[in-house]
Structure 1
Amino acid sequence: MTVVSNDPTWWPTINAYRFSSYFFLAAFVGVMYDWALTFGQEVELVWRQRWSLMTVLYLSVRYLGIVYAALNMLSWIMFIVLDWVFVLMLSMLWVIIITRLHAMYQGSRNILILLIVAFLAINIFDGVAVVMTMLHSSEEELILSGTYQCSVADTEDVSHLGSVCWILNTVWEVLTLCLTLWIAVQHFRELRQHSARGIIKDCLTVLIQTHVLYFASFVAVSCFELIIDLSPTLSTGYSLDAQIYSGFLAILEVVQMFVLGPRLILGVREYHAKLVANSDVVTGMTSISFQQRVHISTGNSV
């Protein structure tokens, strides 16, 4: 359905959409700046290395993230495509985290099964939620005072699905953070008395720092989502406060997924490259890993 109107009562809506587009543009610029900043590392640590699952995931998250950020500026038109891209990107990030944790837990089958079961359950629900939202949403093309917009409205039957997805995603992030911290504590205890423990300790530090930073960004996103959901004026209004909160939420989501997400791989590979530059250190670390039965994968598999 197309609505054409020059009614001045639509002006707050026009201003709200226009104001939101500034934040989407800022998010896109941020992703492009981070890509330009790390492109040299990407060439050396990704493109020129042996290809693996992590290589594919890194390139997918990085470059589909750029596309997502660009389409986000047209989110009122491309909302269906963006929903599916978001679910796909989130799944890829979780596969990266599963691979890291599987390596940190020395290939533990129990940990792998736990993570895969949780991964499948949450992602299947997210996919079903997107389908239900598509089936129970109505959209209108708005031509307001010469501007083109798309209005999307969900029915009450699916309005709660977004909150349920957010809760499940939070459960996943908390679970992976707890598993990361737990194995880190265990490794530090095992290496406390070893004379060369600093090498593997530095590796664990890299893994923990990148994961904790990623989790902190998720917490920031969750806080903004919670504030918007609990405030009727922010969730449904076109006030300046509502647009500012929604705009910062859009920026944080893009930063979490498409800036910090690729760094989960890039940070570890950068550390591995530094070890390779010193063959004596690499040989010593490998020997220590076998002697102590502590396996920390820092290569292209993480």
Structure 2
Amino acid sequence: MTTVSNDPSWWPVIDAYRFSSYFIFAAFVGVVYDWVLMFGQEVELVWRQRWSLMTFLYLGVRYLGILFAALMMLNNLPAISWTDTVSRILYVVRYCINVLVFPMLWVIIITRLHAMCQGSRKILIFLIATFLVDNIFNAVVFIMTIMHTSADEYILSGTYMCQINYQKDVLLLVSITWILGTVWEVLALCLAVWIAVKHFRELRRHSAGGIIGDCFSVLIKTHMAYFASFVAVSCFELILDLTPAISVDINSLETRALYGLLQILTVVQMFVLGPRLILVVREYYAKVVANSDAASAMTSIAFQERVHVSTSSSV
């Protein structure tokens, strides 16, 4: 449905819409800036290395993130006219990317935890089982969301806008997916901390093993940063979805600012910190290979991959 109006009463809505577009543009710039900043390391540690599952996961998260941010920005530019059908298609594509990237990030985390616990089959089965249950539910919610959403096109004083309408039951299901995702992340973090503490205690009993201890420190730091960002995004998502006052006053500047901050946090969590889960470990591993002959002690931790460096030494 298309609504055309030049009524001045719509001007606050137009201002709020333009205000929120600034946050979306900032999120896009942040993703592109991080990609440019890390591109040299990406070439050295990803493109020039032996390709594996982690390579495809890194490239998928990184470049789907750029596409996601670009589509999000284009769909919210007031100067571009999109029909309600095109806007809904862009929304579906963004939602598909979101649904695809989260399992990819969780596979990265499962791989890290499996390597940290030295290939424990019980832990791997537990992680995969919970991963499948959560993602099957997410896929069902995704299908229901696509089936029960609609798009309305507005042309207000020459400004083109599109609004996605959700049913209340759909919003509740989306909130449940965030709750389940947060529970899984908490379990993964507790498991990572438990494994790290266990290994640090074992390392104290032996004089050797400094490299392994440093690697575990790198893994825990990157996991903590990713976990903190995920919790922040989940809290914002639940507050915005479950607070009646916010859903009623959707076009206020305060509400738009909250939604804009959520967009920035989501993009940073998924498409900036996500790729670093792989890149930081590979960077540390490459430095160890270049500076020490003892790097073979941590082969099982660094995603069980061979990292070649320019000094011709490899593991």
| Aligned with 2:190 (options 175, 178, 182) | 178
- On the 8 A contact 2:27/2:264 being kept in 1, the answer is yes
1:57 counterpart = 2:57? yes
Question: 1:169-192: CA deviations, max 9, x gaps?
Answer: 111110110110011011111111
Alpha carbons 2:62, 2:271 under 8 Å: kept? yes
Query: Is 1:226 the equivalent of 2:231?
Result: no
Task: Tell me the CA shift for residue 80 of structure 1.
Answer: 1.4
Matching residue of 1:262 = 275
Asked whether the 8 Å contact 2:50–2:306 carries over to 1, the reply is: no
Distance 1:299 1:117 in 2: 22
Sort the Cα spacing of 1:17 and 1:300 in 2 relative to 1 into closer, same or farther, 3 A.
farther
| Residue 96 to residue 30, structure 1, CA distance change in 2 (3 Å) | same
Q: Are residues 140 and 230 of structure 1, via their aligned partners in 2, closer, same or farther at CA, if it must alter by over 3 Å? A: closer
Query: Do 1:268 and 1:299's aligned partners in 2 also have CA atoms closer than 8 Å?
Result: no
Instruction: Give the match for residue 28 of structure 2.
Output: 28
Q: How many residues align?
A: 294
Corresponding position of 1:156: 168
Q: Deviations over 1:88-145 (max 9, x none)?
A: 0111111111111111111111111111111111111111111111211222121121
Alpha-carbon deviation of 1:160? Answer: 0.9
CA distance 1:296–1:139, change in 2 (3 Å): closer
Q: Is the 8 A contact 2:32 2:66 kept in 1?
A: yes
For residues 194-240 of structure 1, the C-alpha deviation after alignment (integer angstroms, 9 at most, x for no partner) is: 11232110010011010011001112212322332343332332111
- Measure, in 1, the Cα distance between the counterparts of 2:240 and 2:163: 19
Matches within 5 A, 1:1-302: 1-75=1-75, 77=87, 78-237=90-249, 238-283=251-296, 285=297, 295-297=300-302, 299-300=304-305
Q: Secondary structure at the match of 2:4?
A: strand
**Structure 2 Cα separation of the partners of residues 301 and 29 of structure 1:** 33
Instruction: Give the letter for the 2:63 counterpart.
Output: Y
Distance of 1:20 and 1:209 partners within structure 2: 32
Tell me the SS of whatever aligns to 1:96. helix
Query: Which secondary structure state, in structure 2, belongs to the residue aligned with residue 74 of structure 1?
Result: helix
Amino acid in structure 2 at the alignment position of 1:131: I
Q: Distance in 1 between matches of 2:195 and 2:177?
A: 27
The answer as to whether partners of 2:153 and 2:162 remain within 8 angstroms in 1 is yes
CA contact (8 A) 2:148 2:166 kept: yes
Counterpart of 1:276, as a letter, is V
Distance 1:157 1:225 in 2: 16
Structure 2 letter corresponding to 1:164: I
Q: CA deviation at 1:56?
A: 0.4
Q: Partner letter of residue 136 of structure 2?
A: I
Q: Would the aligned equivalents of 2:233 and 2:265 in 1 still touch at CA under 8 Å?
A: yes
Q: Note if contact 1:104-1:297 (Cα within 8 Å) is conserved in structure 2.
A: no
Q: Which runs of 5+ in 1 are unaligned?
A: 290-294
Question: What secondary structure is seen at the aligned counterpart in 2 of 1:160?
Answer: helix
Could you say which residue in structure 1 is the equivalent of 2:311? none
- Structure 1 residues 253 and 301, CA gap change in structure 2 (3 angstroms): farther
1:161, distance to aligned residue in structure 2 (A):
0.9
CA distance in 2, matches of 1:64, 1:213: 21
Q: CA deviation at 1:245?
A: 1.0
1: CA distance, partners of 2:180 / 2:163: 27
Corresponding residue SS for 1:4? strand
In structure 1, what residue type is equivalent to 2:167?
Answer: T
CA distance in 2, matches of 1:113, 1:17: 46
Q: Percent identity?
A: 65
